[in-house]
A and B are shown apart, each in its own frame.
Chain A
């Protein structure tokens, strides 16, 4: 009974709270990093160095007026932000934050569940999230949101293909679809898949930038052309849900990248004996550190690169990344057959 219901519930509460707090502070981190890059200070007024800024932001979003456009499709308009957010959150169900540990004399795995189709599960929930974006733009009954949502969904669908193809080469290398076993495979091989599959990592990261609508692929929100893209007509709490979903998705793609390419919860060089003092740091801290390093990369790229043009975006996706990903799969499979492992 405890293992079946109580324990998973506690874990779900922990993970959701953790994710939401991380999102709040990720927003602050983003503003701070942008500010430092541009030789500014960033938020400074609320709390020392602005550490309470996220709380002020949340309060503001909660009390803001929630406007529904007069001729909007009410039902769909309300559902759209929820359809975007829920898949982003439930993706965390299969992300392994750590191995099995002993808590109060009871073995507790530090993940909510270990599906034997874990990686495909993540692909499938990401596929559902697209609906919220299309519907949000359509239900607003306004031109910019509709155009923005068409761009977004075209971008998501194109780059989803490349990202999913990189998963195939990782699966070939690991020999399993389960997130936990992919991490274990990296321990057994004694090497992170980032070094085995550098091409896949590159394609995955570019695709992840595009899938989360981050710079340099933030065309759906190109202010000069489309105001704010698909969520132009949203305000108050409903806008906050879209915002939340975007940052949650950033965490999801970083956590997946950590699991697939950077050894998940494993310490660096898991098989090197004289580095075993690194094992003093708990596994979930390694996981968090790696994920945040990737998140920082997102923010860094945003502060550095200009935006792509729409046709360039589509060309990059279809003419370069997808063929490259397919070639990578063929090479991986061939190498695997030749090595006979």
Chain B
């Protein structure tokens, strides 16, 4: 009961801030609403018992990536052209199409979850040796079952880092 109340409150806040992100006139306000949105998503993770994921969500998304957004928005000084606000139906078709695709995806996931129980869909990761806490479970899953995707992702990040340095300093 309490969990349900917490979930629906958080879900309402997340959706509310998501709407504010796209409706705010001022871009900096949008970015701030995005931070609030990420923080409530982190709260949702805590509710699911995934403290590690929640903290990482705050460090990486709310604390890292959005700070970069904020820098770009502040320094580039995005002034939306007035016609962007005048005609509210501009590109409505495109937006509708995107929304429909995402809606279809959500429905597909929901139906898939109903038809095929979760424990059949994904093979269970081998359990860590002793009763482990949240962090150990994540570590165990990453370094056993998902080792290859994990390493591929880290290589991808390394390539992105090198690429960013090369782009920033062409005379190297």
CA of A135 to CA of B70, assembled, Å = 9
Interface SS, B side: helix
A125 to chain B, nearest CB (A): 8
Q: Counting CB contacts under 8 A, is A120 at the interface?
A: yes
Q: Is there an interface contact between B35 and A131, defined as CB atoms closer than 8 Å?
A: yes
Q: Which residues of A contact B26 (CB under 8 A)?
A: 73
Instruction: Report 27 cross-chain contacts, Cβ distance below 8 Å, ordered by A residue.
Output: A73-B26, A75-B29, A76-B28, A76-B29, A115-B51, A116-B51, A116-B133, A116-B135, A117-B52, A117-B134, A121-B55, A124-B58, A127-B58, A127-B59, A127-B63, A127-B64, A127-B67, A128-B58, A128-B63, A131-B32, A131-B35, A131-B67, A134-B70, A134-B71, A134-B74, A146-B74, A157-B67
Q: Is there an interface contact between B63 and A76, defined as CB atoms closer than 8 Å?
A: no
- Residues facing A in B62-117 (CB within 8 A) are 62-64, 67, 70-71, 74
Q: Is there an interface contact between A134 and B67, defined as CB atoms closer than 8 Å?
A: yes
Q: Is there an interface contact between B59 and A120, defined as CB atoms closer than 8 Å?
A: yes
> Which of B32, B56, B63, B74 has the most C-beta atoms of chain A within 10 angstroms of its own C-beta?
B63
Question: A116-B135, A124-B58 are known contacts; what are 12 more A-B pairs with Cβ within 8 Å?
Answer: A73-B28, A76-B32, A79-B32, A117-B55, A117-B135, A127-B58, A127-B62, A127-B67, A128-B62, A134-B70, A135-B70, A157-B67
Q: Which residues of B contact A153 (CB under 8 A)?
A: 67, 71
A117 with B62, Cβ < 8 A, contacts A76-B32, A131-B70 known: no
Q: Which residues of B contact A210 (CB under 8 A)?
A: none
Q: Which residues of B contact A120 (CB under 8 A)?
A: 52, 55-56, 59
Q: Which residues of A contact B134 (CB under 8 A)?
A: 116-117
B116 to chain A, nearest CB (A): 32
Q: Which residues of A contact B35 (CB under 8 A)?
A: 128, 131
- Rank and list the top 5 A-B pairs by shortest CB-CB distance, nearest first: A127-B63, A124-B58, A120-B55, A116-B133, A124-B59
Q: Counting CB contacts under 8 A, is A219 at the interface?
A: no
Q: Which residues of A contact B71 (CB under 8 A)?
A: 134, 153
Q: Which residues of B contact A128 (CB under 8 A)?
A: 35, 39, 58, 62-63
A184 to chain B, nearest CB (A): 15
Q: Which residues of B contact A182 (CB under 8 A)?
A: none
CA of A131 to CA of B58, assembled, Å = 13
**What size tier do the contact residues of chain B reach?**
20 to 34
A142 to chain B, nearest CB (A): 14
Q: Is there an interface contact between B55 and A124, defined as CB atoms closer than 8 Å?
A: yes
The 8 A CB mask of A120-159 against B (1 = contact, 0 = none) is 1101111110110011001000000010000001000100
CA of A254 to CA of B71, assembled, Å = 30
B100 to chain A, nearest CB (A): 35
- Residues facing A in B105-162 (CB within 8 A) are 133-135
Q: Which residues of A contact B51 (CB under 8 A)?
A: 115-117
The 8 A CB mask of A264-275 against B (1 = contact, 0 = none) is 000000000000
A50 to chain B, nearest CB (A): 39
A133 to chain B, nearest CB (A): 10
Q: Which residues of A contact B62 (CB under 8 A)?
A: 124, 127-128
Q: Which residues of B contact A250 (CB under 8 A)?
A: none
Residue in contact with B74 in the complex, picked from A79, A115, A138, CB distance below 8 Å: A138
- Residues facing A in B14-39 (CB within 8 A) are 26, 28-29, 32, 35, 39
B165 to chain A, nearest CB (A): 12
Complex: chain A residue closest to B70, CB-CB? A134
A257 to chain B, nearest CB (A): 20
Q: Is there an interface contact between A177 and B32, defined as CB atoms closer than 8 Å?
A: no
Q: Which residues of A contact B39 (CB under 8 A)?
A: 128
Q: Which residues of B contact A134 (CB under 8 A)?
A: 67, 70-71, 74
CA of A268 to CA of B59, assembled, Å = 34
- Residues facing B in A156-203 (CB within 8 A) are 157, 177
A87 to chain B, nearest CB (A): 10
Complex: chain B residue closest to A131, CB-CB? B35
Q: Is there an interface contact between B63 and A124, defined as CB atoms closer than 8 Å?
A: yes
Q: Is there an interface contact between A138 and B28, defined as CB atoms closer than 8 Å?
A: yes
Q: Which residues of B contact A121 (CB under 8 A)?
A: 55
Q: Which residues of A contact B64 (CB under 8 A)?
A: 127
